[in-house]
Amino acid sequence: MADLEKNVETEAVQENVPEPISAESVSKKEEKHRQLWLKDKERRKGQPKKVKIGLRRKLFMMIVSLIAGLLLSVSLITLRDEEIVLRRELKNRGGTVARNLADSIYNSYANLIQEKSSKPFDRFIFDPSKPNTQGPLQFSDAMTKASEQQDFITGYAIDPQNRVFVESGKKAYLYSKKTPAAVFDFKAIYPIKRYLEKKIEDNKIATDSLADPETERQLLGQLVSLKDTLALLTIPAEQVQVSLLLTNSSIHLSIKKEEREQLFNLNLKKKELEKIGALAIRIIHDEATEFDLFLRNNITDFRKLRRTALLRRDKQLLRSVFSGLEKSVESSSLKKNRILSEIPALSKSISSIHETAIKRQAITTLASLKNSILRFQPIVQILTRKISEKTGEDVLYITYPMCETDKYFSTYRGEVHLILSQQGIIYTINYAAGKLQLAAALAIVIGTLFTIIMALFITEPIKKLMKAMRRVGSGDLNQTVYVQVSDEIGVLADNFNEMTEGLREKEKIRSAMNKALSRDIAEVMLSGDLKLGGDNKYVTVLFSDIRGFTTISEEHSAEEVVTILNEYLTIMTNIIEKHRGIVDKFVGDEIMAVWGTPKSYGNDALAAVKAALEMMEELNAFNEKGLAAGRRAIDIGIGLNTGEVIAANMGSENRMNYTIIGDSVNLGSRLEGTNKIYGTHVIISEFTEKELRGLIYKRELDLIRVKGKNRPVGIYEVMGLTPKGEEIRTTAANQGL
């Protein structure tokens, strides 16, 4: 009985839980998804899922974020690239100005030396003790011309002893001028740079690895640990030996030629060696990168010449030229010295070209390559120039030597220092940033409008679908969504309409089947699980029959009999289904009903007895209505039995009927007829009585012997329900007792 009450208490929950889908009709993955959906539905307590962030908002946020991110990326990349290009252009322009100024001053200086018959290693021609007012003025013209350049701040030329002999902003000459502490002179960087280049070539170090701190540490090892003297270079072409000397914590550059030695104060402290070495490595890396780009451009030029050439032999010669250069490009080490050694062979190949125009262009390209290798590259450093007590400006500090191109150490006569402003770059970048910001704002506004339009265009059909789906979910199948677009949403809407059409057809079939069959059996048939065969079931069966139906038939016409019988059967069927029983069949005026198949709710016997008692109550109301209409009252007998039966689909593959068979069914039928003998209305067997002890009031009638059975069966008349029996619900959750 405790199990019975427990099942009754949970029946309302069971009513709302969908029946599990057959494992034969769904895959494991689909079943898993269904279980997850059921859990989610349980968490929502059966409420429909609400939209937290709508598709329109998601689409809007996604497109706006995409536009903003794209514009930000483009802006950053564009501004960065533009800044790089502008800085490179400013460096190149400043380098060109410095080179031209240095060459002009050096040539003028060389002429003065020749006039004075000076030796190459004589001190600078301008001696403070013997002022010469004519010489410096010749250099002033070149400096004045240089100062006319855009972004020019100041410039000056110094001699090897760091004495200024021409400056853009002053008329005085030969006064000492210290290089700003944050930057280094060309004469300090260049020898160390040459020394490190030789180490890189000797150790075959890839240029890409120069940014590695470990590689830097290895290259600077001897330089940083300088104690007395460090031999840097031996230059056979100039017949000089170059060394670094540490004297009184100051660093000097020693240049020895034969027995003569020149010392240049580099304005360096020992602690600055690591810093200047790191700067030299960075310069080597940057120059190698730029030279690779320049070399690739030269190769491209040779390829164009080859395509232009008409003679096959000239094509082959040009191919041999750029093929050799391509091999150098593929190398990861420093390339300048190797290519410089190959230039004579390349020049010889070019000289064999027959087509004059092609030869001339090839010679020019090769000469440009050679000059870029031999020519000094200006050293560009960043200097923070103080404008006021609180503000400063980062400027380009460019240095370039005054010497002969291939004889730096033996012809060095000083260097040119130029300071260029980056305000032009900053202004251009800010201007470009403003334009990009304006373009970005316009793009976001346009993108937002476009997104809103697209969101409306996309989400409106989806909202229609959602609304229609919810109505379908609530039972309204008369839903059709018309979408004109032919995209995925249009296909989805069309499939939805096909689905609702199919559901309507299925509902029509279900409705028709519910009229011909009980609801539970109809659902089993519609689920696709229907097949021939049967199962053992423990059920309670009810038989009801009208007494004296023949007399009623004789007193009324056929139409009246059918009307009376349909009205009676409708009332009785509703009562049976109210208590979750199913009508197995009608045989004339007889009703056969069963509880416990195809689905049992755990209180089948009590539900059957309650239905029987209510049938008797409703019969009285039916008779009162009939007597008022001048119709004879009718009487019925009801028999109930509980036991094992075979619930089976009987018939053929094409046509079948769900029913129950067995001795328990036969006993229930005989008990209905037994009511005539004992003058009763509701008789149950001892098997049913056993299920209902404590739940009904009963009167024991007799022991009867059923045909085919040796043991007699006890029978009881049902008198009513006990309070405990009344309390137990046997109807659906949405129905009354």
The dihedrals phi and psi of 477, each to the nearest 5 degrees, come to -90, -5
- The pLDDT value recorded for residue 541 is 94
Compute CA distances 388 → 168, 393, 412, 424, 621, whole Å. Answer: 22, 10, 37, 20, 110
Residues 6+ apart with CB under 8 A from 732: 15, 578, 580
Rounded CA Rg of the chain: 54
- The pLDDT value recorded for residue 12 is 38
Helix orientation angle between 273-308 and 356-374, rounded to the nearest 10 degrees: 180
**pLDDT 10s digits, 85-100:** 777 787 888 888 888 8
Q: Is the pLDDT of residue 213 over 70?
A: yes
Does the pTM surpass 0.85? The reply is: no
- Judge whether 482 lies within some domain: no
Q: Is the pLDDT of residue 497 over 90?
A: no
- The pLDDT value recorded for residue 26 is 45
Region of 155 (left: φ > 0; alpha: ψ -120 to 50; beta: rest) is beta
Same domain, 166 and 223: no
Distance CA 209, CA 320 (A): 30
Distance CA 448, CA 60 (A): 7
Q: Is the pLDDT of residue 121 over 70?
A: no
- Judge whether 12 lies within some domain: no
- The pLDDT value recorded for residue 608 is 93
Band (pLDDT 50/70/90 cuts) for residue 13 is very low
Residues 6+ apart with CB under 8 A from 464: 481, 483, 493
Pair of tokens at residue 475: 């039972």
Same domain, 290 and 332: yes
Instruction: Quote the percentage of the chain above a pLDDT of 70.
Output: 82
- The pLDDT value recorded for residue 14 is 40
Q: Which of 7-11, 22-26, 215-219, 459-463 has the highest mean predicted lDDT (pLDDT)?
A: 215-219
State the pairing for strand pair 656-661/379-386.
unpaired
Q: Which of 47-56, 490-499, 538-547 has the highest mean predicted lDDT (pLDDT)?
A: 538-547
Band (pLDDT 50/70/90 cuts) for residue 522 is low
Query: Which of the listed residues 375, 392, 410 is the one where a domain comes to its end?
Result: 375
Average confidence (pLDDT) over 260-284: 87
Please write down the long-range contacts of 654-662, taking CB distance under 8 Å and 24 or more positions apart.
656/530, 656/532, 658/517, 658/521, 658/524, 658/525, 658/530, 658/598, 659/584, 659/585, 660/537, 660/539, 660/541, 660/584, 660/594, 660/597
Q: Is the pLDDT of residue 613 over 90?
A: yes
Which of 611, 595, 682, 675 lies closest to 643 in space, CA to CA? 595
Same domain, 136 and 275: no
- Judge whether 498 lies within some domain: no
Same domain, 236 and 316: yes
**pLDDT 10s digits, 624-653:** 888 888 888 889 999 999 999 988 877 776
- The pLDDT value recorded for residue 540 is 94
The dihedrals phi and psi of 608, each to the nearest 5 degrees, come to -65, -40
- The CATH number for 103's domain is 3.30.450.20
Q: Do the beta carbons of residue 572 and residue 546 sit within 8 Å?
A: no
Q: Comparing 38-42, 254-258, 279-283, 496-500, which segment has the lowest mean pLDDT?
A: 38-42
Same domain, 151 and 194: no
Average confidence (pLDDT) over 123-137: 45
- The pLDDT value recorded for residue 133 is 44
Same domain, 672 and 533: yes
Distance CA 127, CA 115 (A): 16
- Judge whether 582 lies within some domain: yes
Q: Comparing 104-108, 123-127, 177-181, 478-482, which segment has the lowest mean pLDDT?
A: 123-127
The string of DSSP codes covering 92-116 is: HHHHHHHHHHHHHHHHHHHHHHHHH
- Judge whether 502 lies within some domain: no
SS3 242: strand
- Judge whether 737 lies within some domain: no
- Judge whether 496 lies within some domain: no
Same domain, 367 and 248: yes
Same domain, 362 and 395: no
Q: Is the pLDDT of residue 706 over 80?
A: no
**pLDDT 10s digits, 329-344:** 777 788 888 888 888 8
- Judge whether 467 lies within some domain: no
Query: Which of the listed residues 346, 375, 404 is the one where a domain comes to its end?
Result: 375
**pLDDT 10s digits, 158-186:** 888 888 877 877 666 667 778 888 889 99
Q: Is the pLDDT of residue 736 over 60?
A: no
Q: Comparing 392-396, 422-426, 527-531, which segment has the lowest mean pLDDT?
A: 527-531
Band (pLDDT 50/70/90 cuts) for residue 734 is very low
Average confidence (pLDDT) over 418-437: 79
Query: Which of the listed residues 354, 375, 396 is the one where a domain comes to its end?
Result: 375
- The CATH number for 696's domain is 3.30.70.1230
Instruction: Quote the percentage of the chain above a pLDDT of 90.
Output: 12
Cis before 48? omega within 30: no
Answer with the residue of higher pLDDT: 201 or 502.
Answer: 201
Looking at the structure of the chain, the number of domains it has is 3
Q: Note down the domain range covering 585.
A: 527-727
Same domain, 367 and 425: no
Q: Is the pLDDT of residue 485 over 70?
A: no
Average pLDDT, the chain: 79
Distance CA 230, CA 241 (A): 11
Residues 6+ apart with CB under 8 A from 318: 302, 305, 306, 309, 353, 358, 362
Q: Comparing 267-281, 445-459, 651-665, which segment has the lowest mean pLDDT?
A: 445-459
Band (pLDDT 50/70/90 cuts) for residue 131 is very low
Residues 6+ apart with CB under 8 A from 47: none
Same domain, 643 and 675: yes
Q: Is the pLDDT of residue 62 over 60?
A: yes
Answer with the residue of higher pLDDT: 628 or 473.
Answer: 628
Which of 228, 209, 227, 229 lies closest to 219 in space, CA to CA? 209
Same domain, 62 and 108: yes
Average confidence (pLDDT) over 95-108: 80
Average confidence (pLDDT) over 302-306: 86
Distance CA 721, CA 119 (A): 139
- The pLDDT value recorded for residue 70 is 74
Same domain, 390 and 348: no
Please write down the long-range contacts of 138-143, taking CB distance under 8 Å and 24 or more positions apart.
138/108, 138/112, 139/104, 139/105, 139/108, 139/109, 139/165, 139/166, 140/166, 142/100, 142/101, 142/104, 142/105, 142/108, 142/166, 143/101, 143/167, 143/168
- The pLDDT value recorded for residue 50 is 65
